């Protein structure tokens, strides 16, 4: 298999991001509305970057991938299952390892840039 090397580019969408809803079973308070989009992926689709936003509310999330984030707007308090809490605001970065169980409290509507590494190709509908 021959691969053509080329730079991919992307930018923060100016329109509303497509829906990327949370499962109702994950939501613990409020009605957080999540949206997101992939902007670039490796050829094997195992490393992806993109943008995600969410309105105020609370939910549980278990990471099924390694994820790096850069918070662009808003504020979120993330609590590790049985562990520490972290407040992330604009210009903060974080890494969430595969398997980490967390509780998210979106204090102010949030927008983030993310990079994820998955064990299988990431396909979004």
Task: Kindly state the tokens that stand for 106.
Answer: 């979106």
Give pLDDT, residue 12.
Answer: 79
Residue that the structure tokens 């094997």 belong to: 44
The two structure tokens encoding residue 20: 């990327």
Query: What residues does 90 pair with on adjacent strands?
Result: none
- Evaluate whether 47 touches 64 at the Cβ level (below 8 Å): no
Given a contact cutoff of 8 angstroms between Cβ atoms, the answer to whether 105 and 56 are in contact is no
Per-residue pLDDT tens digits for 91-105 = 999 999 999 999 999
pTM: 0.91
* CATH 2.60.120.10 at 24-117, yes or no: yes
> For position 33, what pLDDT does the model report?
98
Q: Give the per-residue pLDDT at 9.
A: 87
Report helix, strand or coil for 123.
Answer: coil
pLDDT over 60 at 87, yes or no: yes
* Residue of 63, 54, 53, 59 lying closest to 104 (CA atoms): 59
Position 6 pLDDT exceeds 90: no
Q: 14: pLDDT confidence band, cut at 50, 70 and 90?
A: confident
- Whether residue 7 is predicted with pLDDT greater than 70 in this model: the reply is yes
| pLDDT 10s digits, 36-81 | 999 999 999 999 999 999 999 999 999 999 999 999 999 999 999 9
């Amino acid at each position: 298999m021959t691969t053509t090397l080329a730079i991919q580019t992307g930018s923060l969408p100016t329109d509303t991001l497509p829906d990327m809803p949370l499962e109702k079973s994950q939501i613990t308070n409020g009605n957080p509305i999540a949206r997101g989009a992939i902007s670039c992926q490796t050829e094997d689709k195992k490393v992806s970057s993109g943008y995600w936003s969410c309105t105020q509310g609370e939910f549980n999330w278990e990471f099924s991938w390694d994820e790096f984030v850069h918070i662009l707007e808003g504020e979120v308090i993330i609590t590790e299952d049985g562990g520490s809490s972290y407040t992330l605001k604009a210009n903060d970065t974080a890494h969430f390892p595969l398997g980490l169980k967390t509780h998210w409290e979106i204090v102010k509507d949030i927008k983030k840039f993310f990079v994820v590494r998955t064990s299988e190709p990431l396909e979004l509908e």
